[in-house]
Structure 1
Amino acid sequence: MSGTHPTTVHAPARTPEPTAWSPGSWRARPAAQQPEWPDPEQLARVENTLALQPPLVLPAEIMELRGALGDVARGRGFLLQAGDCAERFSSCTEDGVRSKLRVILQVAILLTYGAGLPVVKVGRIGGQFGKPRSKPTETVDGVELPAFRGDIVNAPEFTAEARRPDADRLLRAYHHSSAAVNVLRALTHGGFADLDQAHAWNQEFVRRSAAGRRYEKTADEITWALKFMAACGVDVRSQTELHQIQLYTSHEALLPHYEQALTRFDEQRRAWFDTSAHMVWIGDRTRQPDGAHVELLSGIGNPVGLKVGPGTTPADLRELCERLDPQRAPGRLVLIARLGAGKAAELLPPLLRAVRDAGHEPVWACDPMHGNTFVSESGYKTRRLTDITAEVAEFFAVHRQEGTHPGGIHLELTGDDVTECLGGDLAEVLDDQLSSRYETACDPRLNAVQSIELAFRVAEFLRGHHGA
């Protein structure tokens, strides 16, 4: 979270060191998925301004996350990475952050209580403002304009002015990230994440659903467990872990100009850290081994995520793991499989074996969202909860077959009562209902009821895996 650090040295935007890797060495590599910035001088000014700003997170926090992910990689925990598809600047308010945190806490508590494993909580929050696009432009009624690439680049309105990439938005992204991170710190350390508040996290529209009522029953059991511990003489009020949580931040490192400007050298650890987030990841569209994104993230000390799509071969993955994790350090890499329902059983085993045989110990996580997106009959981009659940089930089955640890889940979700993904329990979303509350800035998200329903299933899969 936000603040300064006495041992931090800023990285100027355009002064790479004469070494094999430097914060600016990515500039000699091809960079995929970049907007066409119309004013290079403006971009350089913004980079240099960003390089003088305080870090959003500190190296000590980053290393704490690496340690926790190391435990997950060794089978002693589970990663929950969840949050918005693409954050909007307008959502970086107390209410907006609280809404996302509420459902993340609900999912995390169900996984912890249901599976009996510590859950490392990482939000897609405080910086997830950019999105890769399948096409660089969009055409409406014969008019072609640049695609909307997230608030960090341009605006969603379909006008030439709104779609023009604006480097000043990088600064706005920094300031909105800082605001979101400060709210997160206040909420997670100020009582909102207290287990005594488990019932209060359940919104009324969720409580009316079957999943919400089942959540209420779990919250009752947790309350009684806390009372039992207190009756046995355990001072539960003094147990910080029961009243505060650490929610780490993450986003896709899509714009290397922004990430370099917030990369700092830590004298104490003699290492570079990207202080824009605790964890950053490389998307399936930007994972070229000789590309700018892999080059930049190969030299930072943060945990690094890598999306693994259906086009990834075992040879590709071995090369990327070697580039990003040559020391083979548990907790350094999070490999996020996004293969699609029906494909994991075939595609995942050779990838698992290739990584294991090369001596890497990554966290393997399942992203069941991005491989299951389609356009419905009503014309909306959507996903089916049944497909999402099916891919998670396949992910666990393959890991059980291979004797490896299913280390986490990566979700796009919201605490709001949106209608973006199809399916659910008694509050099932149907195709003709998608238009009623379709609010995402890019990809469809699970609503709070669907998220909780999925959390119960994931907890069952986890319990079954570790009880085998």
Structure 2
Amino acid sequence: MTEDPRDQILAFGTATSEGPAKDPSLDAWRELPIRQAPQWSDEAEHRAALAELAQVPPLVFAGEVDVLRMRLAEVARGEAFLLQGGDCAETFAGSTANRISARVKTILQMAAVLTYGASTPVVKMGRIAGQYAKPRSSDTETRDGVTLPSFRGEIVNGFEFTPEARRHDARRMVRAYHTAASTLNLVRAFTQGGFADLRSVHAWNKGFMENPAYAQYEETAAEIDRAVRFMDAAGVDFEAMRRTEFYSAHEALLLEYERALTRTDSRTGDPYATSAHFLWIGERTREVDGAHVDFLSRVRNPIGVKLGPSATAVDALALAEKLDPNREPGRLTFITRMGAERIRDVLPSIVEGVRDAGLTPVWVTDPMHGNTVTAENGYKTRRFDDVMDEVRGFFEVHRALGTHPGGMHVELTGDDVAECLGGAEHVLEADFNERYETLCDPRLNHQQSLEMAFAVTEALAHPGGR
């Protein structure tokens, strides 16, 4: 009988060192070019915040991270699919039980649709418990002749356009840690305590309004329910269905925060960034000789890198050499964000170059960031049709090249917001006035997320088309 990887977590031990990892190479990034770094307003507060973070318990453990690497290796081999979703920019006030559970439920529902419809294991990962920092294209923002620092996420400053709110306040890093800890506590309770039981697939839909996507979900839930009842009658042990693995992820933008939370594994002496299971490097900070790539090359977590339309195969191979020199299965994920109009032109040469070099990273599509537009009424938005077209392009490219389209990385919420145009509900610009809530980028709402899951299920289940 195969050992349950969750039991291996206990056997692996945890990152238990007191204080941050002491390997001096982990600080080499401080001497390199660094982008998107805050300018803290009070140096004494800055030092105090980092000293406190250096002594707090880890948010995740080395054994959990190692199991995730195993799961991602399965994705890279084409044996599973990665579903990564959550908020564009988490807020402290929005980290409530109801909103966290709605996000988790949305991802669980999407995963159930994918798993059942495509007979594919799904690795579930949230942009959650750490997505508090946001890169900005400009250091400042001007309104009505007043210029203030740009909003960089609640780990750095506030959204309100006032001098006090926009001050870079290092104490926010400590608040971010404690908010992440309480969020992960709820996520673990939901996913390990019976909330994620596959026998509850109907209950996950309660409280949501009626519409076509939910009706389709109910049909799938009924089919799952019949299958479960059959297995129950056949004497199948349902313990494995009562809980699910769920991993946390965020962009490792604020390197001081990540460094302060890096711990040494008591088993191996290896450093782990314990702020999340999975960390990624953004399009704006992926310079191969820059600070972000250097730091993340030195921790044992699986690492993702965003690749935009300016990326080339040469860029991808250089990043792979720096971040994954040993070609470790599950270590490296490339998250492509090209835009619907460009993905079919730009992505093939990158995938082909990586494939021909003998690399097998996890390939994931981010169909959100390359499709951002400004609506006529001034709101930043995305068209659902564009998002889905990029997803289709991603699958087309990989099918043509014989590589595995391994997953999707989506900004979504479990709430009934109106931020992305279109979908079966047909969100209109006029809906933004009442239901637009994001502080940064527009997200798919619950119904649009389910629509996406059903469409991707078709692509996974019928790779060559019907």
TM-score normalised by the shorter chain: which range applies? Answer: over 0.9
Structure 2 match to 1:78 = 81
In 2, the alpha carbon distance for the partners of 1:239 and 1:228 equals 12
Q: Look up the SS of the partner of 2:250 in the other structure.
A: strand
Query: Which of 197, 200, 205 is the matching residue for 2:200?
Result: 197
Structure 1 position 352, deviation (Å)? 0.6
User: What residue number does 1:64 align with?
Assistant: 67
Deviation at 1:329, TM superposition (A): 1.2
- 1:334 counterpart residue number: 333
Aligned residues: 457
For the pair 1:449 / 2:457, whether they are aligned, the reply is no
Cα deviation for residue 203 of structure 1 reads: 3.9
Distance change (3 Å), C-alpha of 1:230 and 1:175: same
2:355: which partner in 1?
A: 356
Aligned to 1:218: 220
CA distance in 1, matches of 2:417, 2:61: 34
Q: Deviations over 1:310-334 (max 9, x none)?
A: 0112111111111001011121011
5 Å-filtered alignment, 1:235-246, equals 235=236, 238-246=237-245
SS of 2:157's equivalent in the other structure is coil
Counterpart AA for 2:88: C
Matched, 1:322 2:339: no
Q: Is the 8 A contact 1:12 1:48 kept in 2?
A: no
Give the equivalent residue in structure 1 for 2:145. Answer: 142
| 2: CA distance, partners of 1:184 / 1:150 | 22
Structure 1: how far apart are the matches of 2:124 and 2:15?
Answer: 27
Secondary structure of the residue aligned to 1:374 is strand
Q: What's the TM-score once normalised by structure 2's chain length? A: 0.95
Amino acid at match of 1:222: I
Deviates more, 1:280-289 or 1:36-45: 36-45
Structure 2: distance between partners of 1:458 and 1:52 = 43
Residue matched to 2:276:
277
- Distance of 2:432 and 2:139 partners within structure 1: 26
Distance 1:203 1:388, change over 3 A: farther
Deviation at 1:23, TM superposition (A): 1.9
For 2:17, the equivalent position in structure 1 comes to 9
Matched, 1:234 2:235: yes
Structure 1 unmatched ranges of 5 or more = none
- Change in 2 beyond 3 A, CA 1:230/1:7: closer
Identify which of 71, 92, 95 aligns with 2:95: 92
For residues 194 and 46 of structure 2, the distance between their equivalents in structure 1, rounded to whole angstroms, comes to: 41
1:386 aligns with 2:382: no
How far apart, in 1, do the equivalents of 2:349 and 2:448 lie?
31
* 1:450-465 equivalence runs, <5 A: 450-465=448-463
Structure 1 CA distance, aligned partners of 2:441 and 2:298? 30
Q: Does 1:110 align with 2:113?
A: yes
Q: Give a deviation string over 1:66-124, Cα, whole Å, max 9, x none.
A: 00000000000000000010000112221121111010111111111111110000100
Which amino acid in 2 is paired with 1:430?
L
Q: Which amino acid aligns with 1:359?
A: G
- Taking a change above 3 Å as real, the CA distance of residues 466 and 264 of structure 1, as seen in their structure-2 partners, is farther
Q: Is the 8 A contact 1:12 1:261 kept in 2?
A: yes
Give CA-to-partner distance per residue, 1:147-205, whole Å, 9 cap, x none.
11111000000000000000000000000000000001111111110111111111443
Preserved contact between residue 92 and residue 179 of structure 2 (Cα < 8 Å): yes
Q: Is the 8 A contact 1:194 1:243 kept in 2?
A: yes
Which residues of 2 match residues 150-161 of structure 1 at below 5 A? 150-161=153-164
Contact 1:16–1:25 (8 Å) recurs in 2: no
Q: Aligned equivalents of 1:7 and 1:227: distance in 2?
A: 41
Separation of aligned partners in 2, 1:184 and 1:98: 8
Q: Does the 8 Å CA contact 2:15/2:272 hold for their aligned counterparts?
A: no
CA distance in 2, matches of 1:367, 1:7: 31
Contact 1:194 1:244 in 2 (8 A): yes
**215-224 or 352-361, which deviates more:** 352-361
> For residues 252 and 7 of structure 1, what CA distance do their matches in structure 2 show?
21
Q: Which runs of 5 or more structure 2 residues have no equivalent in the other structure?
A: 1-5
The match for 2:169 is 166
Q: Distance in 2 between matches of 1:374 and 1:221?
A: 39
> Which residue of structure 1 aligns with residue 50 of structure 2?
47
The structure 1 segments of at least 4 consecutive aligned residues displaced by more than 6 Å after TM superposition are none
Deviation at 1:6, TM superposition (A): 6.2
Amino acid at match of 2:184: V
8 Å contact 1:153–1:165 — kept in the other structure? yes
C-alpha displacement of 1:411: 0.4
Partner of 2:3: none
SS at match of 1:318: helix
SS at match of 1:306: strand
1:274, CA displacement in angstroms?
0.3
Deviations 1:220-244, CA, capped at 9 Å, x for gaps: 000001111122x233xx3333111
Instruction: State the one-letter code of the partner of 1:148.
Output: F
What SS class does the counterpart of residue 43 from structure 1 fall into?
Answer: helix
- Greater alpha carbon shift after TM alignment, 90-99 vs 39-48: 39-48
Q: Distance in 2 between matches of 1:123 and 1:234?
A: 33
Q: CA deviation at 1:466?
A: 7.5
Q: Matched residue of 2:449: which SS?
A: helix
Call closer, same or farther: CA 1:7–1:58 in 2, change over 3 Å.
closer
Q: Distance in 2 between matches of 1:225 and 1:122?
A: 25
Give how far 1:40 is off. 2.9
1:430 aligned partner: 428
